[in-house]
Every structure is written in structure tokens, then in C-alpha cells.
Amino acid sequence: MKKKIISRVIIIILLCLIGLAVGLLYFGIIHINNPSKTKYPIRGVDVSSHQGTIDWEEIASQDIDFAYIKATEGSGYLDSYFDDNWENAADAGLYVGAYHFFSFESSGEKQAENFIDNVKPHGKMLPPVIDVEFYGEFKSVKDIDVDDVQEELRSMVDALEKAYDQKPIIYTTKRAYNSILEDEFDDCDLWFRSVYTPVMGDVDWTFWQYSNRTHLKGYDGHEKYIDMNVFCGDKKDFKKLVKEYDEDVEEEEEQPLVDWNYFEEQMSKSDVADFEDFMPILNDEETFYCFDWNDKDVTFSEYLESIECDDTPDIHGLALVDIDGQNGKELILDIYEGGGNFLILTRDNNEFFGTSRGTRTFEMLQNDGKFLGSGGVSDAYYYTMSIDKNGVKETLIGELHGEDFTLVDGEAEDWEKWFDENYGDEVHWILGQEYQSENQSECYT
């Protein structure tokens, strides 16, 4: 009987001790994880509206180096405290970063747009973070389409990297890592949540959220606790993540390569509509397949580099003309650099194609596509051209040697008469602004 009483007392004491330990852990009085400050000297917090109004000077004074601030969630939510936190944390001298809670119900593109619209770079900015974890009705891998989630997440990763010139970091839990991220997003640094044990040994992490029950001074929200994190490395390593922005210099809008508006002002309404079709190429938003530039897709900027063009191309003139009776009007650009080049662009089934010609091999262009392909003091060769997705075709129609003019299908008695009859409808060229004083006919004849 006595032994039974002692056993019960011991069990009760053990249960009390376990309960006490659980209580101490829950209320953040003790912590299982206590990362070495020598090994992990860089420490920071992550916050949201749950922490309410934050005194960032007070937070910074408690041996805190950085702060990640919740910005957005899904395709439309913005944390109501984000703007104040974003500005005030940076003003307190902290390195700051913004994070987005990833939704399994919205496209990666729309979620990226939400983040980019609301997070403007400034100060000592850490890479953007995408928080990927199970939530709500999506409790496990059984509740999601993993392939679809990975595809949308990749879309968001790529969009944020392009917008901020920083590869995003992915915050995650063990379950989400094992089922969604492992081996699929190794190009992204990892921020791993593990508040009761150290991070698994086979996980290569950059940030570790080691506690979600820490008390700090300086916030008044309904959430009494704050998340604590360490960086895997020293201060020198940490600074490699940071992108600094000069806030004294206003960010200038990216200017187009050429003031195309000037040319549009000289066009008819129908030509403006045709010209607009080529704007994705001229603004470097799309590529065109260049038949005589290593036969590959290039941007307009890459083409300009290939002809040794300066940053701002010197457009002598341009014309819109249907040179081959198919696929609508071609855009012809006369570019002065590199000894002079004509770039001929066309559109075929929503794809762009192009070819280039030197100034001595593409002159006197007519509305029906005839042009002087090459010539000298006493020799001249006349061609027509067609260009589409299948390539470029030049067809010889006649040649002049001295006073002898011969058509491909026979000899012309009077080449001057033939020339006047067949070259009487020249293309209307719009000269660049710097060349308006020149005689148009002298430029292109």
C-alpha cells in the first residue's frame, strides 16, 4: 500500500513538472532552442499587424539587427501596419525585408503583382521572402495539387527576382519543405521554422526561426509574443544579402531607346495602328527571329549591339510598306550606325521576323517592294523581296550594265522608260527629328 502511494506521488510530481515545463515553454519563459550568439551573431524579428504599433527604436536596442515585416498575402491583402513598419524599422537603423504569405488559391503572377505594387525598395533592404506553409483548409499535402503549387510559386519567385534584382528567400515549415520545396527550389535561400528543435541536419538554411514565444519590449498588439530568428553566418556574409538603395536620388523612369512618339506624330492613323504592332519589339518587350544574325531570336537592343550601335540608336528614317503583299505592312528602319543599316521587320502569325541590309544593297525602295539591291558607276541590280516565317527571298528582276538593261525574262529596249514606269511610286519615309532639314528625295534616291 505504501509503495502504491509513493508511486502515485511520483507520477503526480512528474505530471506537475511536465505541466510546468509546458507552461513555461508556452508562455515564453524558457526556450528549448537557444542558438549560440557566438556562432549566430546576427539576430532579427519577423512581425505583422498582430504586434500592433511597434516602437522600432526600442526593438533595435535589444540586440536586434534585422526585421522582416509582413507586407501582403494572396492576390489582394495588404497588412494594415506594413507601411508604418517598413518606414520606421529602416529609420531605426535596422536591415529590413518584406514577406508575403503565399496562397494556394491565387496565381503566382497575381500574388507577385500584389507584393510589387505595395513594397517599394528603400534603405538597407533584405531579399523579399515568400512564406510557404499549410494553412486553413489546406492542412496537408492531400489538400493541394503539388505540381500546380510549385508552378505558381516558381512564377512568383521569378517575378520578384526580376522586380527587385534579388532572388527571393522562401520561409517554410518541415511539412511544407518535405512536400513542396525539397529538390525543386534549391536556387532559393531557405528560412526554416523549427521552434522546438534545431533545424534538420540535411537542410541548408540561411535563416532559422528558432522561437515564436519570445517577449521583447516595444509593441502593443494583441499578440504578446514575437518571432525570433538567426542568420547562418557572420556580419560580412549577412551584408552580401543586402541591397542598398540611395533614397536621396529619385528613381528615374526607364526611358525608351528612341522617342518613337515623334515618328508616330508624323504618321497617318492607319500607319499608327500598323506601327503599334511593332512596339513590343522596339521597346525590347519581345524578340524577333533574325534570319541573318546567327538565325536566332534577338531583342532590338541585341540587334543594335551587333551593328556596334551606341546606347541611343541614330534613326535616320523609317517607313511602313507592304513589300511582298502578305502579312500586312513591314517596318523598315534606316539606322546610321555601323556604316548604315536597314532593318526590315515583319509579323507572321503573331511572331516577329527580321533581316538587315547595308545601305548600298537596299536603296530606292518602292511601295510594291522593288528596290535597288546593289550598284556601281555603271552597274545596277533590281530586286523584289518577300519575308515571312519561312525566310527571306530576293528575286532578281533586271540588271543594268553600262547602257544595256536586261530583264530576267528578256531585254528591255529602253531601260530609262522601264525605270520611270516601274519606279514611280516611292515609299514615304519619315525622317528622324535631326534630319528633317534634309531633302527626303536626296536621302533615299
Which comes out higher in pLDDT, residue 282 or 64? 64
In the predicted model, is pLDDT for residue 250 greater than 60? no
How confident is the model at residue 24, as a pLDDT? 43
Is 105 part of any domain? Answer: yes
Q: Quick one: 175 and 231 in the same domain?
A: yes
Residue 24 domain-assigned (yes or no): no
pLDDT of 181 reads 94
**291 shares a domain with 212:** no
Per the prediction, the chain carries an average pLDDT of 82
298 and 353 inside one domain: yes
Give the rounded percent of residues in the chain with a pLDDT score beyond 90.
40
What is the DSSP code string of 236-266? Answer: HHHHTT-EE--TTSPPPPPPPSS-HHHHHHT
pLDDT at position 374, please?
A: 63
Residues 228 and 274 placed together within one structural domain of the fold: no
Confidence band for 135, pLDDT divided at 50, 70 and 90 = very high
- Are 240 and 272 in the same domain? no
One-letter amino acid identity for 122?
A: H
Confidence of residue 337 (pLDDT cuts 50, 70, 90): low
Most confident of 47-56, 316-325, 350-359: 47-56
Q: Is 119 in the same domain as 155?
A: yes
Neighbours of 236 (CB within 10 A): 7
CATH number of the CATH domain containing 122: 3.20.20.80
Q: Please answer whether residues 345 and 281 qualify as being in contact, where contact means their C-beta atoms are separated by less than 8 angstroms.
A: yes
Which has more pLDDT, 222 or 380?
A: 222
What is the per-residue pLDDT for 335? 80
Query: 390-398 long-range contacts, Cβ below 8 Å, gap at least 24?
Result: 391/291, 392/291, 392/292, 392/355, 397/370
pLDDT tens digits for range 189-236: 999 999 888 898 889 999 999 998 899 999 999 999 999 999 999 988
Same structural domain for residues 266 and 236? Answer: no
Number of compact structural domains in the chain: 2
User: Domain check: are 301 and 235 in the same one?
Assistant: no
Instruction: Clarify whether residues 328 and 406 are in a common domain.
Output: yes
Mean pLDDT for the stretch of residues 407-412: 72
* 290 and 352 share one domain: yes
- Three-class SS state of 6: helix
Pair (328, 419) in one structural domain: yes
Domain that holds residue 139: 30-244
Grid cell for residue 376: 556601281
Same domain, 278 and 415: yes
Whether the Cβ atoms of residue 128 and residue 160 lie closer than 8 Å to each other:
yes
